[in-house]
Amino acid sequence: MKKGIKTCFVMTCLLFITLIVPHFYDAFADENLGGTLQTNGNVTTGIESTIDQTIHFSATGSGGTGVYYYRYSLISNGQASVVQPFSTKNTFDWKPTAPGTYQILLSVADSTWSKIVYKTVQVTVPKLGATLQADSGSTVQPLTTVCLTGTGSGGTGVYYYRYSLISNGQASVVQPYSTKNTFDWKPTAPGTYKIVLSVADSTWSKIVYKTVQFTVPELGAALQADSSSTVQPLTTIRLTGTGSGGTGVYYYRYSLVSNGQASVVQPFSTKNTFDWKPTAPGTYQILLSVADSRWSTIVYKTVQFTVPELGATLKTSASQTIPLANVQFDGAASGGTGIYYYRFSVVHNGVGTIVQPFGESNTCNWTATEAGTYSIVLSVADSRWTKIATKTTVVKVVPAEIKGIDVSHWQDDIDWEKVKNAGVKFAMIKAGGSDDGLYQDNYFEQNYTNAVENGLAVGAYYYGCAITENEAIAEAQHCLSILKNRSIGLYVAYDVETDRQAGAGKDQLTKSIIAFCDTIKKAGYKPMVYANVNFFTNFIDIAKLRTMGYDIWVAHYGVDAYDSIAFPARIWQSSSSGQIDGITKNTVDLDTLYFYDPNMKVAECTDNGVNIRTAAGTSASIVTKIYHCFFQVLGSQTAYSSDIETQELWYHIKLNDGTTGWISGRFVKLWNMTF
């Protein structure tokens, strides 16, 4: 009796363990026993089914001893129940009766009962659901057929479908319950509508709903033009109307509103375009009227155009220039009809002069011969000659040179306000040098600050001694360390004048100079080279400097004007013994900053002893001979040269001493001068 009670107790515990904590038991079992569980003939861990659909489970034991025993349990909502106890029957049929998620738990044992193995399949029985699709977008035109298709899911047996229409808050059944899942709807009037699908299955235990909304627009219209709102007279504009939201055919009418008066310019028809050509200045509205086949509503669209009066604009290539420099004026007309005619006049000191009479050319080139303020007046007429429009611009012609000084510690303390009042406009200030080791000028900081505060244009210079590229780069870097990224409105100049540099050779010294200038340029400053005429002539290859685009600051004393210098320079140092109010210790260097005509053409004579003649060609008499130098080019033409027995290009030139003549193009190199 006690043995039977004990056996019953053990079996009860085993059932509890197998149902509630199967994996806990598994840790102590023989690992050879195994099993498989098939659902409707397939091995799977989960399936989806429907209510009242029979599911067939089939189990197979393996790896065990003797007979296999099978038990099936159902787990629902966390609760387990044995639905088929242990037996040699390995199959189980189950039919779900309600939606939900279920687990079928298979327990397998062999004749030893030393181990039980488990397999689980999850069965999902979805709730009744529905989808509703339409073969159009949410915006539908009147009298357009829309096909709606409903689909039931998750239910049992046959699905039943009903369609209802909701309009203005009122619902009406438009297709009662049936197995037909489609519905065709054709709206007849504008508005917002909802189609409601109701779906039930064979159990009729639940009804689900799906809704889709449609907007049936009212009659509308769009109006487009192939131009902007500003239109020139006699320009054809095409307007295109488009009806929408209506029924059947659209009808279009165009009206013109001018000065508050409307007139029909194209009556109602199916033609949706209209071409309009304004003939006079003014503000106009084009009114489009649109109706559809019902003629129950007419909608309107308006576009406005402005036809401007005759007008003119005037642009100038320079608002400030120098004497003898060419200035180009470009006129433009608008708002007129046909061809435009332009006239250019200049007013100076109250006197007006026509410099280009009425004609079709809208450009004018003009040169002032003296400084002053000039008004340039453009007059414009069109083919009608009913009105003349004018536009004026002002050009200031300034002197071609500015007076300045260059200073260092040699001038000691400077009263910069007095210097400014003395007419000095710019100053080149010594930053430092290398002639006594690398040093900074003791007065650089003071001179820079005070010159800037008094409104002078400021440049800087560095006294160099370098004869190699590396030395020059080191000097440039020292110069930059002194400048400390200060704003330098003019140039950072390299002062070249030592005997050591004169003995380096022209080629080597020029390379050193370029190395210094390149380093300064990379730092964002504009470099230039300072030297006297002797250095530039004998020890520096000025042509290479020109090629690199570096400007020249030349020291040349004892001459009355810069014209005698043998090459164009940006700054001329004309004296080392100047007297300027505000500078009391020692004299000061005097300089002139030149603003050349930007259109001036400069060229180089590439040989020595070249003849300059009175006219183009070798038959003309010789004026003078020139050696390697720079000069201004005035013009060119072809002429016969007897020494080469052919035609060639000759240049009309002006030397710096004012001499003019002609030179063979064989001995000329043109330069793109950037002053």
Residue 286: CB atoms within 10 Å: 21
Domain 401-594 sits in CATH at 3.20.20.80
Residues 6+ apart with CB under 8 A from 5: none
3-state secondary structure of 379: strand
Residues paired with residue 448 on neighbouring β-strands, in sequence order: none
Cα distance from N-terminal residue to C-terminal residue, the chain: 127
- If we measure between CA atoms, which residue out of 542, 506, 499 comes closest to residue 629? 542
Two tokens at 656? 């710096």
- Cα dihedral 277, 280, 285, 287, rounded to 10, equals -40
Per-residue pLDDT reduced to its tens digit, 235-255: 899 999 999 888 889 999 999
Using only C-alpha atoms, what is the Rg of the chain? 51
Two tokens at 25? 């038991």
DSSP H or E run through 36 = strand 34-39
DSSP 265-297: EEEEES--EEEE---SSEEEEEEEEEE-TT-S-
- If we measure between CA atoms, which residue out of 195, 199, 194, 207 comes closest to residue 178? 199
Per-residue pLDDT reduced to its tens digit, 556-594: 887 765 554 556 788 899 999 999 999 998 999 999 887
Per-residue pLDDT at 244: 87
- If we measure between CA atoms, which residue out of 668, 665, 634 comes closest to residue 652? 634
Distance (Å, whole) CA 232 – CA 227: 10
Do 163 and 175 form a contact (C-beta atoms < 8 A)? Answer: yes
CATH topology assigned to domain 220-307: Immunoglobulin-like (2.60.40)
Per-residue pLDDT reduced to its tens digit, 197-210: 999 999 898 899 99
Per-residue pLDDT at 370: 65
Per-residue pLDDT at 593: 83
Residue ranges of the chain with pLDDT lower than 70?
1-31, 322-325, 369-371, 399-400, 560-567, 595-600, 656, 672-675
**129-216, superfamily in CATH?**
Immunoglobulins (2.60.40.10)
Two tokens at 287? 């009114």
Residues paired with residue 73 on neighbouring β-strands, in sequence order: 82, 105
3-state secondary structure of 627: coil
Q: Is there a shared CATH topology between the 311-397 domain and the 601-671 domain?
A: no
- Domain ranges across the chain: 2-125, 129-216, 220-307, 311-397, 401-594, 601-671
CATH topology assigned to domain 2-125: Immunoglobulin-like (2.60.40)
Say which DSSP state 545 is in.
Answer: H
Q: What's the half-sphere exposure (Cβ side, CA atoms, 13 Å) at 495?
A: 21
Per-residue pLDDT at 519: 98
Two tokens at 317? 């290539």
Q: What's the half-sphere exposure (Cβ side, CA atoms, 13 Å) at 109?
A: 19
In words, the CATH class of domain 601-671 is: mainly beta
**CATH 2.40.50.140 for the 311-397 domain, yes or no:** no
